[in-house]
Chain A
Amino acid sequence: MGLVQREIERLGIPTIGVSIVRSYSEQVRPPRTVFLRWPYGHPFGEPGNAAQQRAVVRAALKALAEIAEPGTIVDLPYRWRRETYSE
């Protein structure tokens, strides 16, 4: 994913990536990343949990707007299945 992200950014389009394997992001060094220690196949959370999915999308967009240093990885605070998300 990070390799694709780098090529998109290289052409002048700002990018944000959601990562669930921090070591990949550290190696591939995409411009902006939000990291979640969540299982594979669930970068935006659980099926049917719109509030959770929305929280991740919002956090990713916020990081897109706020990250100023290339290569930054923001560790999101959400624990897997141990959070309550408000609408």
Chain B
Amino acid sequence: MSMVSRLKHRGLAALATAFPALGERFAAGYRAERQDEGIPWAPLAKPLGASTIALVTTAGIHHRDQTPYDMHDHDGDPSFRELDLARPLDSLMITHDYYDHTDADSDLNVVLPVERLRELATAGEIAGLARLAYGFMGHITGRHLETLKRTTAPEVAARLKKARVDAALLAPG
């Protein structure tokens, strides 16, 4: 993708951020794939106060020493990054041209509420925040949708299962 189109994406992203009503119109340019099969369902097994919560983000977050998401592929980047929350929060950064992350750059909790969940754990409202979180970039289309659904998302699910988290909180960019 050319630098001009990357700049165009960033310009549109800044507009949609400034005017939430534009968001739905901007979103109309991205077609979410209708899922017609049944909705998966797993009941919460324990009260929240006994549950360890994992964070999963599609805001384009990765550690500074990890490979950034590929912003040059029109279909997006279906890969994921394992985020170690035991490391300082400022070891994390955002690579994403499709939304304006200026605010999230100044306070990551806006997209990844690590500190808020830690406070709730201290207060006993949840048992804890899982050490490992998972990052995707979102805005996946075309040929990468199948990779996401068949390979990378199930791999993250398997890792969360292995870590025995009780629930996952997901948020976009």
Contact = CB atoms under 8 A, between A and B. Distances in A.
Contacts of B34: 27-28
Contacts of A48: 106-107
B136 A4 contact: yes
A39 B39 contact: no
Contacts of A47: 103-104, 106-107, 109-110
Interface in A2-33: 2-24, 27-31
Contact of A11 (B35, B136, B161, B171): B161
Given A6-B40, A45-B110, A47-B107, A28 B32 contact: yes
Most buried by A among B35, B41, B173: B41
Contact of B160 (A13, A30, A50, A70): A13
Given A3-B153, A46-B103, A61 B125 contact: yes
Contact of A8 (B56, B58, B59, B111): B56
A2 B42 CA distance: 15
B20 A13 contact: no
Given A15-B170, A23-B27, A61-B53, A53 B17 contact: no
